[in-house]
Amino acid sequence: MCLFCGAAFAHSALCSCADNGDGTVTCEGGFSDGSSAAGVKVFVRNGSDRTLVRGAMNEDSEFSFEKPTGYYMVIMDAGPGHQVEISGDDITE
């Protein structure tokens, strides 16, 4: 009877980041069902997959950090199947 229950409650993780123009980057997260991303883990990694910054979305579902030099990637990790990766090359003002 409940073969499709999982599909009914499915939601996607969403994240967007912007270069603030002052040497920092701010990312905003959430879910496709409108849920908050407060407390969701965020990692900033370099091209060697070394973690440069780690933290979590604040109560406003935002996370800010100092922009690294060179290549970097932002990963919002809300668990298996709910990860968003954003290349630093795609983060603009």
We report the CATH number of the domain holding residue 28 as 2.60.40.10
- What total of structural domains would you count in the chain? 1
Instruction: Return the residue matching tokens 């973690």.
Output: 51
Q: Quick one: DSSP state of residue 9?
A: T
> Which residues span the domain enclosing 46?
5-90
Q: Rounded to whole angstroms, how far apart are CA atoms 74 and 45? A: 7
- Give the rounded percent of residues in the chain with a pLDDT score beyond 70: 89
pLDDT, one tens digit per residue, over 46-90 is 999 999 999 999 999 999 999 999 999 999 999 998 999 999 999
User: pTM of the predicted model, to two decimals?
Assistant: 0.86
Q: Which residue stretches of the chain are H helix?
A: 5-8
> Left (φ > 0), alpha (ψ -120 to 50) or beta: where does 24 sit?
beta
pLDDT (average), residues 18-30: 98
- Which of 3-12, 13-22, 23-32 is the least confident region? 3-12
